[in-house]
Amino acid sequence: MLTDEFLSWWRRQIKSLLPRRIGDVAVFARPALLIKIERNILYFSRRRRGEILPICSYDLTVPENDEEFSRCAQILTAEARKTARKPALLRCAYDMILQRDVTLPLATEHHLEAVVPYEMDRFTPFSSEAVYATHEILFRDPNTQQIGLRLSLIPKAFLTPALDVLSRLHIRADRLQIEGKDFEIPLKDISERKAPFIARYALAGVCVLIFAALLSLGFWQQSVEARRLSEGISALRPAAMEAVALRQTLSDRSSGMTLIAQERRRLGDPLEVLAAATRILPDDSYLTDFIMRQGQIIISGRSPTATALIHAFSRETVFKNPVFVAPVTRVDGENTSLFSLRATVGR
């Protein structure tokens, strides 16, 4: 099975080096099992020498013990044996794919395979483990040091029923083709079940011997780049954690200030209450006590017009229900009276 995976990888690498027209012709010429997903139905067909021949269809909502399931399973199992060493191509409509254009620093261009999954939960509502995804480069802007990407993804939950059926039928699909589009989405997390092992082809052994040195060099370069990127991420992690902690501190402080402002609106602002009392009291009045507690104030002092203070406080919107808490007492020999009143403040 390792040889099969190597051959599949090697074919994709060779195709990427060929012009698209030549690569498409070469791929189309190979026999393949085609599987199309449409409205919970899998349509199976076989491509051979440029012709596409329908095989059968399978409704994903049909129970496994259904007679139709058994009949279809027998046909597909026999077909899977014929194409055990040939690629199975999974296809779906374009409207099943989610796409979004994003920008990243230009320095990440050579590490997109690692950066895009790392940033997936920031760009989309999904984590990288919950989707199958690919990307294409839209632009590179040296002036702003940015690179534009188009993310194309499909949630794994959309394909899980179909992949489970293919797994039970020993059918492997390593990529998802989009109808009417020129890109594919790799299916890296396909079922662990593999097609039955028959024999190693002599060509596989020859390919391994010829390209062993080249592959070793390529894998070594990739491991070096991956390690370098991992070290860079590790170096930036403390700064990122510090930024998160600072953001949390600012959020907590903002919440505290909001709570204080709410309580001031509910129980009254001491400075606003004192300013309102100053406006109400005549110029020749003065206070001896000013108590503000739990939305209420108690004011004591002297005023030549103490009896008129209740009316004056009632007209001020800051105070509600002003009342005297003690009798107004005239001071002998002076044109002033002692007073003590209570009122509710706040809104």
Each residue's pLDDT tens digit, 64-89: 656 766 777 787 777 666 655 566 78
Query: 116 and 105 in contact (C-beta within 8 Å)?
Result: no
Residues 6+ apart with CB under 8 A from 21: none
Residue type, 7: L
Six-digit token string for 49: 């020498």
- The more confidently predicted of residues 8 and 126 is 126
Q: What is the pTM of this model?
A: 0.45
CA 134 – CA 331 distance, rounded (Å) = 90
CA 29 – CA 312 distance, rounded (Å) = 97
Tell me the C-alpha to C-alpha distance, in Å, between residue 29 and each of 26, 47, 51, 216: 5, 8, 9, 30
Query: 5 and 85 in contact (C-beta within 8 Å)?
Result: no
Q: Which of 25-39, 162-176, 182-196 has the lowest mean pLDDT?
A: 182-196
DSSP 2-43: HHHHHHHHHHHHHHHHS-HHHHHHHHHHS-EEEEEEETTEEE
Mean pLDDT of 159-183: 83
Q: Quick one: pLDDT band at residue 325, thresholds 50, 70, 90?
A: confident
Q: Quick one: pLDDT band at residue 143, thresholds 50, 70, 90?
A: very high
Mean pLDDT of 324-342: 85
Average pLDDT, the chain: 78
DSSP 86-151: S-EEEEE-GGG-EEEEEEEEGGGGGGHHHHHHHTHHHHSSS-GGGEEEEEEEEEEETTTTEEEEEE
Burial of 181 (0-12, 13-18, 19+ CB in 10 A): exposed
Residues of the chain with CATH 3.30.1360.100: 270-345
Fold that domain 270-345 belongs to in CATH: Gyrase A; domain 2 (3.30.1360)
Six-digit token string for 30: 């190979």
Tell me the C-alpha to C-alpha distance, in Å, between residue 294 and each of 287, 298, 337, 340: 20, 11, 28, 18
Mean pLDDT of 201-212: 74
Residues of the chain with CATH 3.30.420: 31-199
What's the CATH architecture for 31-199? 2-Layer Sandwich (3.30)
- DSSP letter for 289, please: E
**Rounded to 5 degrees, what are φ and ψ at 287?**
-105, 145
CA 345 – CA 33 distance, rounded (Å) = 80
Query: 189 and 214 in contact (C-beta within 8 Å)?
Result: no
**pLDDT score for 160:** 87
Each residue's pLDDT tens digit, 220-249:
888 888 888 988 888 888 888 888 888 888
Give the CA-trace dihedral at 328, 306, 284, 347, to 10 degrees.
120
**pLDDT score for 24:** 47
Q: Quick one: pLDDT band at residue 17, thresholds 50, 70, 90?
A: low
**pLDDT score for 27:** 45
**Rounded to 5 degrees, what are φ and ψ at 316?**
-85, 130
- DSSP letter for 304, please: T
**pLDDT score for 205:** 73
